[in-house]
Amino acid sequence: MSIPRFHGHPWRVLTILALINFVNYVDREIIYALVPLIQAEFALTYTQVGLLGTVFSIFHAAFTLPLGMLADRTSRKKVISYGVFFWSMMTFLSGLVATYRSLLGVRALVGVGEAAYSPAAAAIITGSFARRLRARVQGMFDLGMFVGGAAGLALGGLLGGWVGWRPAFFIVGVPGLILALSVLRLPEPPVKHDHKNPVPLTRLLRVPAYRMVLVAGGFITFAGWAYIFWGTTFVHEYKGFDLGEAGVILGLTLVVAGALGISTGAALADRLARRFPWGRVVVIFLGFLISAPILYGAFHAQSKGVFLVLFFCGSFFMTWYHGPLTATLHDLTPPHAHATAVGLYYFFVNLSATPWAPLVVGKVADHYDLHTGLHVALAAQVIGALGFLLVIYFIRRDGLRHPALAEFQAMEAPSPGESQPGISRLDASRER
């Protein structure tokens, strides 16, 4: 496939932003591997340990939307640069805290800084590439997240055992401080920033397909976060892995299956989007629906080998949604509202699903067992998949450009030789 040369050296933009996304998730998840050391030093209960994750999630969710809106109204790359610098500095300061309360406050501020990143970065990437590549480049961006999360857990274990938990925060905090400066040198794709006529949130929420993406995304986030939180405990208690094996094997399996799944889902989504307006959404729907029975089989597998094969396959299909999801949010909204659209999505799912998934599954496990608790997550995954089926219905009915946003839609010139089959019936004649 030949890639045209787009304004602003887009591949350099994508490479740097994906690298920052890697650092983003290293800084976010390293603390999970350092928990035993932190817990021992401050004599923390499990509830206090859990609160470190809760405050991060709440502050991250609360600031994602306003910072996404700020990015759409000002300079996206400046919002990114300041956010990266801020969260990296807070990560560094995490190693200097003297009390548990100080660590709690610093982790909350890490969440604030990281909230500035994903909506603005995803909007810059979409604006830098042609529509036909939208899911693929977003998938490449999300690879940084996926690999960074696994690397954060691995680095936490290695650095914590080698130099202790405080120096571990110093080491992972430094790269972000350097990368924050590199963002300012990136070209920002031209976007029509209409400061006098920004897209109100109420208008976004009048689009049925967008609303259903929020709802369906809440269910799949619930399922995914439950698997991440309880996965190591489950394979340790039910599949005979020791804790060391569980972390390494599950991490490697997720990285390989996730990288293949993200790449496959993104490429398939962009191919189908060239034929159908809802092509990207059907990939999300199929990925979650196919993976559910495979993961069910993995949970009930009687041997380690069968479990790992089924878990690999289930993870492969489940990760299809990376890339197509962000691309769909951008397909449904005007270019100067792309960061806002993603910010509102993360605001919704991080408040409605992320804080509650471990708690709900844990309570079910207390009353029954962890098998049953993970069945709740599987049920949420299937409900989320069916929600994306409704997204397809709404796009087929209204098109990608809903009338509620008609007055805000900016003209997007197609790349040379490129058609735009994803445009709604209302706007197709204007955007040919």
- What fold does the segment set 201-404 form as a domain? Growth Hormone; Chain: A; (1.20.1250)
Q: How much is the pLDDT for 432?
A: 34
Q: How much is the pLDDT for 73?
A: 84
The pLDDT of 203-207, averaged and rounded, is: 92
The pLDDT of 153-160, averaged and rounded, is: 78
Residue 42 above 80 pLDDT? yes
Question: Which tokens belong to 338?
Answer: 């792309």
Q: Which of 38-47, 172-181, 224-233, 412-421 has the lowest mean pLDDT?
A: 412-421
Task: Give the Cα-Cα-Cα angle 31, 19, 286 (nearest 5 degrees).
Answer: 85
Q: How much is the pLDDT for 419?
A: 46
236 — phi, psi (to 5°)? -70, -45
Q: How much is the pLDDT for 239?
A: 85
Distance CA 301, CA 342 (A): 37
pLDDT band at 6 (very low <50, low <70, confident <90, very high): very low
The pLDDT of 244-266, averaged and rounded, is: 82
pLDDT band at 157 (very low <50, low <70, confident <90, very high): confident
Residue-by-residue DSSP string for 312-371: HHHHHHHGGGTTHHHHHHHHTS-GGGHHHHHHHHHHHHHHHTTTTHHHHHHHHHHHS-HH
Task: Please report, rounded to a whole number, the percentage of residues in the chain having pLDDT higher than 70.
Answer: 88
- Alpha carbon distance, N-terminus to C-terminus of the chain: 23
Sign of CA dihedral 41, 45, 46, 51: negative
Distance CA 290, CA 317 (A): 7
- With contact defined as beta carbons under 8 Å apart, do 361 and 226 qualify? yes
Distance CA 64, CA 375 (A): 30
The pLDDT of 49-72, averaged and rounded, is: 86
Question: The whole model's pTM is what?
Answer: 0.80
Question: Which tokens belong to 97?
Answer: 């805290």
Q: How much is the pLDDT for 140?
A: 86
Q: How much is the pLDDT for 244?
A: 60
Question: Which tokens belong to 167?
Answer: 């120096």
Residue burial 233-264, b: 16+ Cβ < 10 Å; e: rest: ebbbebbebeeeebbebbbebbbebbbebbbb
pLDDT band at 7 (very low <50, low <70, confident <90, very high): very low
Radius of gyration of the chain (CA): 21
The pLDDT of 376-384, averaged and rounded, is: 96
289, exposed or middle or buried, with CB in 10 Å at 0-12, 13-18, 19+?
middle
Q: Please tell me which residue, 184 or 268, carries the higher pLDDT value.
A: 268
Q: How much is the pLDDT for 378?
A: 96
Task: Give the Cα-Cα-Cα angle 180, 184, 186 (nearest 5 degrees).
Answer: 115
Residue 387 above 90 pLDDT? yes
Residue-by-residue DSSP string for 168-220: HHHHHHHHHHHHHHHHTTSPPPP----TTSPPPHHHHTT-HHHHHHHHHHHHH
pLDDT band at 332 (very low <50, low <70, confident <90, very high): very high
Per-chain mean pLDDT for the chain: 84
The pLDDT of 239-245, averaged and rounded, is: 71
Q: Which of 216-230, 291-305, 374-388 has the lowest mean pLDDT?
A: 216-230
Q: How much is the pLDDT for 409?
A: 66
Residue 303 above 80 pLDDT? yes
- What fold does the segment set 10-188 form as a domain? Growth Hormone; Chain: A; (1.20.1250)
Same fold, 10-188 and 201-404: yes
For the chain, which residues make up each domain, given as ranges?
10-188, 201-404
Give the count of alpha carbons within 13 A of 160, CB side only: 19
Distance CA 150, CA 237 (A): 21
69-125 confidence digits (pLDDT tens): 898 888 888 999 999 999 999 999 999 999 999 999 999 999 999 999 989 998 898
